[in-house]
Chain A
Amino acid sequence: MLTLLRRYGTLVGFAAILIFFWVSLPDTFMTARNWLNISQQMSMLIVVASGMTIVMVMGDFDLSVGSMASLAGIVAAILFTFDYPIWAAVSVALLVGLAGGAVNGLLISFVGILPFVATLATLTMLSGVAFVVSGGKTISGRAIPESFGNFAREGIALGDWGGVAVSLPNLTIVAIVVVALVWVLLEQTTFGRRLYAIGGNIEAAHLSGVAVRRLKLIAFSLTGGTAALAGIMYASRVASSNPTQGSGLMLNAIAAVFLGSTLSEHGEPRLLYTIVGVLVLGVLDNGLTQLSVDSYVRQILVGGIILLAVSTSSYARRLN
């Protein structure tokens, strides 16, 4: 019973939230349209949180993902102003993400700086670079190719649901693909199992021949890459780019991973649980907005729920 509660307390809480919104908003909440909206609204956070899960599996953090997302958006937008084709601009922005992540990995695994300190420093630096490259300005309007902005507005038509045309948004599809790839990587490959080994006991992993440094380097590069992808998705959604626009993603991604980890057996991050964490945050934002709850009260509630979930989980574990 206690084990069940510890493992599924968050899930029960999530179900309670869903039922609450369903009852309070009978006509609008549990509709295909609304859920597709939520999936689209959360797609960027899903991508960042997936990448964050990769490093958090090893017990590390990456605080620089928000700045990286902003920078990637700026890089793509700047290249658009020089008339680069979309695929080229997006590829360069993704490479910037991988490279930035690799720098994090180098600092942490080869120089030996704590992830918190190293990525805090790169957070500041990447943010500074985004400001320098953009001149502090928002790049928008005609500089952004129309088809780039349209990407985030379009999707695959799913037909009519109750008289309303519904489509699966492109951003949601991107998020699903990323989740699938990261899931295979973490759960189905030796690489993933080794990351979990590092997270379990880094010394033991090292002694049993796991190439800790190299794995960390790769893991942080991937996190940087996903952050850049999320930044590009954000830029497409707002059809513009601004040197600070990704900054909100970092804390929410960490919160989602923590929320999700309350669902796993030993409190370790698992990708699918991270997605549950993202959904909790997304559903709260969506449902509370529809209920006209003050946006500041919403922030307090979200923080409270994270505290509640994590403390319930650790309390139950202690009793065990």
Chain B
Amino acid sequence: MTRHARAIRALLAGTALLATGFSATAAVAQSKIAVITPYLSQPGTQFYVEAFEAAAEGKDWDVNVIDTAGDVAAVISRIEDMVTQNVDAIVINVDPTQVTAGLQSAKDAGIPVIGMDAGADPLLVTNITSNGYAMAAETATYVADRIDGAGNVVMFVFEAFPPVQVRGVVADAVFGNFPDITILDHVTPDVSDGGIADSRAKMEAILAANPEPGSVKAVWAAWDQPALGALQAIEAAGRGGEGIVITGIDANPQAREAIAAGGNFEASVAQDFKGIGATAADVVARVLAAEEIKQGSIYVPTQLITASNAAE
């Protein structure tokens, strides 16, 4: 019989094991907010979520962060569970078109869903993100200003990816407003290896075709990788001293390092991930206070990164 008892005890231990998970959930809070993402292990997402939690601290919220470890279908499942649980608001960081099933069930239940750099969608109250148009305008005007509104500019663009495509459109508009700026080429690099190597190869070809010093005044890149590739090409060709101005967008660590070094790569734009998280918390508070949010997208300002602040 003792053997049986032991086996039963082992079974009961399972229930005890379950119970250990719940100690923290007893606290009663006024508003239940669920933050659901498949991407918590990615640095950008971590910044949003941490900033969201920090901003939520002063408020009377019970914030439940759910990571589905890359599984997008599980995001739908967890949204459904949160709808069942009748939470007060849901914040997502995932492409809304992929979780429409979950968003629909939230809408049917009258639960507001806010996007945290998710993408605009009619089923979201609003989406908090960086302004891609403004980021491109920031670097394009920097370039135009640095070359005194005159000279040949090489543009690195990428039409296939919508968020990057808009950057190219805006830069074209800015350069088009300067009659003495000529766009030498719109280059679309092959990004299958990350984009740096092919951008370098394409830039080397352009430099070879334009050997006169001053025949290329600037390189405007829609993101950082082509800017880094162009920088390598210019340095390898021994033309680093011509004052060719390079700009990128995103301010990734490698780009910041290059900008801080004070060479041709002069500027990039950083998204304010923490600001996106904090703004999302602010928007949730406004939605809970029954304020109507009119914009489908709420933009968080970005920051121009130059040699003076690249190391920050």
Enumerate chain A interface residues (CB-CB to B < 8 A): 1-2, 5, 9, 12-13, 16-17, 20, 24-25, 28, 31, 33-34, 37, 40-41, 44, 135-136, 138, 140-141, 149, 152-153, 234, 237-240, 242, 244-245, 247-248, 285-286, 288-298, 301, 304-305, 308-309, 311-312, 315-316, 319
Contacts and interface: CB of A to CB of B under 8 A. Distances in A.
A312 B95 CA distance: 43
A33 B25 CA distance: 24
B209 interface: no
A138 B66 contact: no
B62 A245 contact: no
A245 B72 contact: yes
Interface stretch (B16-24, B210-218, B230-238, B243-251): B16-24
A319 B3 contact: yes
A240 B91 CA distance: 21
Contacts of A244: 70
Residue in A293, A311, A315 whose Cβ sees the most chain B Cβ within 10 Å: A293
Contact of B17 (A25, A239, A308): A308
Nearest to B161: A137
Interface string B1-24: 001100110110111011101100
B98 A41 contact: no
Given A13-B11, A239-B100, A289 B21 contact: no
Given A41-B77, A245-B73, A304-B17, A295 B66 contact: yes
B292 to A, nearest CB: 26
A291 B76 contact: no
A238 B62 contact: no
Contacts of A312: 7, 10-11
Contact of A9 (B7, B64, B71, B78): B7
Q: Chain A's interface: helix, strand, loop or mixed, by majority? A: helix
Contacts of A308: 10-11, 13-14, 17
B97 interface: yes
B104 interface: yes
B67 interface: yes
B84 A34 contact: yes
30 contacts: A1-B4, A2-B3, A5-B11, A12-B11, A16-B11, A20-B19, A25-B85, A31-B84, A34-B84, A135-B192, A136-B192, A138-B98, A140-B97, A238-B72, A238-B73, A239-B97, A240-B95, A248-B69, A285-B74, A285-B81, A289-B85, A290-B81, A291-B22, A292-B32, A294-B21, A305-B18, A308-B13, A308-B14, A309-B14, A311-B10
B101 interface: yes
Contacts of B7: 2, 5, 9, 312, 315-316, 319
B82 interface: yes
Contacts of B18: 17, 20, 301, 305
B80 interface: yes
Contacts of B73: 44, 234, 237-238, 245
Given A308-B10, A311-B10, A319-B3, A239 B77 contact: no
A23 B192 CA distance: 53
Nearest to A141: B97
Interface in B158-183: none
Residue in A31, A44, A304 whose Cβ sees the most chain B Cβ within 10 Å: A304
B276 to A, nearest CB: 21
Contact of B101 (A33, A136, A237, A297): A237
Given A153-B104, A239-B100, A16 B15 contact: yes
Contacts of B81: 37, 285-286, 289-290
Contacts of A285: 74, 77, 81
Interface string B93-112: 00101111100100000000
A151 to B, nearest CB: 10
A238 B67 CA distance: 17
A23 to B, nearest CB: 11
Contacts of A28: 84-86
5 closest A-B pairs by beta carbon, nearest first, are A41-B77, A289-B81, A292-B64, A293-B21, A238-B98
Nearest to A31: B84
Nearest to B1: A1
B252 interface: no
